[in-house]
Amino acid sequence: MKKILLTVVAALTLSFGASADEGMWLLPLLQKMNIKAMNELGCKLSAEDIYSVNNTSLKDAIVQFGGGCTGEIISDKGLLVTNHHCGYSSIQALSTPEHNYLEDGYWAMDNASELPVPGLSVKFLRQMKDVTKILEKDPTKKDALIKAAKEDFPGCEAFIENFYNDNVQYLIVYAVYKDVRFVGAPPACSGKFGGETDNWMWPRHTCDFSMFRVYAGKDNQPAEYSKDNVPYTPARSLKISLKGIKDGDYAMIMGYPGRTSRFNTEAQLKLTLESNAISIEARTLRQKLMWEAMEADPTVRLQYANKYASSANAWKKWIGMEKAFKKLDIIGRESQEEADFMAWVGKNHKRSEKYGSALGDIEKNVDGMRKPYLGMIRFTETLNRIEVLGFAGLFDKVYKAGKKNNKSDEEAINAAVEAVKAVYKDYYEPLDRVEAAALAELYNSKCDPWRRIDINVKNLFDSTAFTSAEKLEKLAAQGIEAVRKDPAMVLREEGIEMYRSLYKNYINYATELKKSSKTYTAGMLEWKKGQPSYPDANFTMRLTYGTVKAYEPKDGVLYKYYTTLDGVMEKKDNSNYEFRVPAKLEQVWKDKDFGDYAMPENGKVPACFLINCDITGGNSGSPVMDANGNLIGLAFDGNWESMSSDVMFEPDLQRCICVDIRYVLLLMDKVGGAGYPRNEMKFVK
């Protein structure tokens, strides 16, 4: 394995000539791999301007937002902008039927009216350091490396992250700020304009943004929420460009892409499609029931807005993936690449010894794990979505954690009750009943006969205490044994036992698959030495670069690279929840009260635009920057024609959909009337 590692290091060192659009690049390697191509494409910055450990750089203005998105600092007072759909769950949690910030929008008019968001945090990257060689020589040094990093960066968190399927390791240091407050967002009809109909589609007209502020202790260091905290003073904030964009302009994105699988094999890709099909079927059923309940009752709409959006986003992506796999022959192309790889391996005895069995081992382990893995997915997408069973699970988790931390039985029970009580704000028991009956029927009709779980839904919901806070408090007062006899708790345990049996059959194959994937990836890197090389996304900060660019989705059709506010009015249908337009925005449009936010060439307000940069989930909210590192927009979506992009990049089709920063400012300023955040920003005109 040491010889394989050295080959990987050599391959990475010699990887030059990256294309201008493909790649989620590691920041410490920009000088070695990318900066020349970036400068040739139009970038005016140096690698040190973008990523530096010893000096301020662009990385200091970019954060991982809430663990699953990206945000950027746009003022010297910690003002942060991200996507509306990234702030969605936080905004929904702060909303009530009386103060529905999600539906109506909200703008703080001073610091005092900014709303604390419990549980929300942001991470600033402090350092990424390659420690592969150190750990290869002595794996026991992992803890020492982490300890030393924490000493070098007091108050920070440090981790070892794996790249290239465990062939490379980086030590990564983050500063985590836990006091984040809601500043404002447009109403949902603008922030989610087009809803699921337009999701993943172009042309797009969604003003997908929300704003928050990072707070710190008086020493500017991370601190838990306190009324005495002050706005964070960043090492770097982004300037905002009002110059506008044109086709061919340089553009780049920095952010935290989530997961890609570009080193996956044909066998793994086929399993992915099988898994997706199970999830699509279950979510189609559940989302239909949710939507019907949401349409019937505004309170239920608020309660289930985030649950529906979270489910539907992945659901639609998986549907698009299936179509793209067929249209673009992803499986066939992967099969051919593997055949070419094996032909290369077979020409050299040493390569055959190192890599010759990797693909066969992967296929064998995928075949072995298929049945239990798909069983786990089916359980997760059906029975595990019954909310009362989830509440029982939450109670059990918090109770056991309390006992582990030496709390008394009474203290542990009380903590568990309080944890579950918090979720009832967004719970509608009649909907859970309907969903439970439908999901249980779907599960039992599809699973192996010996894995069926009988559920009498009426009896379950009539007798469990987990349908309301009042019932749960009464039951908990009788002690933990009484809680454990609750029908929801009993049924959950039956389901978990079934899941554990599947997991036991799955894990050995999965462990061996990880080993063979590591070997295969090392072989691929050696085979493609001298070609662009970047690891799969894993929620670590990356940079991708390219240009503003239109595309042709099919013969005879050309999509422009931008849309305008005129298109919002063309799509307007106030009888359709997804295409409503706020009256004030329509009035601004009619009056042409656009201020600095109109395009000088035609007087229209830009809405969204396209770039050919390489993104995936987790990049939502990422800054789209010009050649000088100024903010020109926010990345918020990919396009329908390239839904297979997590597996293969498609240069002719793949586009990142971005909201123009001028549209963001129009909604904030002219519609929201929020002048005070604008006064903090620095503009380039």
**From 85, 190, 396, 517, the catalytic residue:** 85
d(CA 223, CA 106): 26
Three-state DSSP class for 579?
helix
Q: Does 396 participate in catalysis according to the annotation?
A: no
**From 620, 642, 644, 645, the catalytic residue:** 620
Task: Please state the length of the chain.
Answer: 685
d(CA 539, CA 302): 29
Report which of 583, 665, 592, 683 is spatially closest to residue 107, judged by C-alpha positions: 665
Site of tokens 């894990």? 507
> Regarding beta strands 683-684 and 240-241, do their DSSP bridges make them parallel or antiparallel, or are they unpaired?
parallel
> Helix H segments across 405-486?
409-421, 429-446, 457-463, 469-476, 480-484
Q: What is the largest CA-CA distance in the chain?
A: 75
Q: Does 208 participate in catalysis according to the annotation?
A: yes
Report which of 240, 230, 255 is spatially closest to residue 77, judged by C-alpha positions: 230
* Residue pair 308/339 in contact by the 8 Å Cβ criterion: no
* Residue pair 263/49 in contact by the 8 Å Cβ criterion: no
* Residue pair 608/658 in contact by the 8 Å Cβ criterion: yes
The residue type of 544 is T
Three-state DSSP class for 465?
coil
Q: What is the DSSP letter of 118?
A: T
**Cβ within 8 Å of residue 352, ≥6 positions away:** 345, 346
> Helix H segments across 528-656?
565-571, 583-591
Three-state DSSP class for 571?
helix
What torsion do the CA atoms of 8, 12, 14, 18 make, to the nearest 10 degrees? 140
**From 21, 60, 179, 208, the catalytic residue:** 208
Residues with catalytic roles? 85, 208, 620
